[in-house]
Structure 1
């Protein structure tokens, strides 16, 4: 496996892990009925988990 292929594989695995983590975080926030804290335009805001975009599938 070349370095380029290896990097692409690692990138794909990272994307899969990040998507799984995002899904788990949203499920937890919905269960606990707590907002997701994000930064938008330099301001810290609380967003209900129902208003967060759904996770995209890995490439």
Structure 2
């Protein structure tokens, strides 16, 4: 997807994946028009309940 190999996905590059294109603006944490791996990981963690790392507490 990262066709220019800059380490981030632009909004244009994201269009090849309908799911990613749909959540792009929400996942682009700093709203710079590029989705970095860290931004995507943070978005996924937030969607899964906000826990980035650590135990779930038993």
With structure 2 as the length reference, what TM-score do the two structures score?
Answer: 0.28
Q: Which protein, 1 or 2, shows the higher relative CO under an 8 Å CA cutoff with sep ≥ 6?
A: 1
Higher helix share: 1
Max radius of gyration: which structure?
1
For normalisation by structure 1, the TM-score amounts to: 0.28
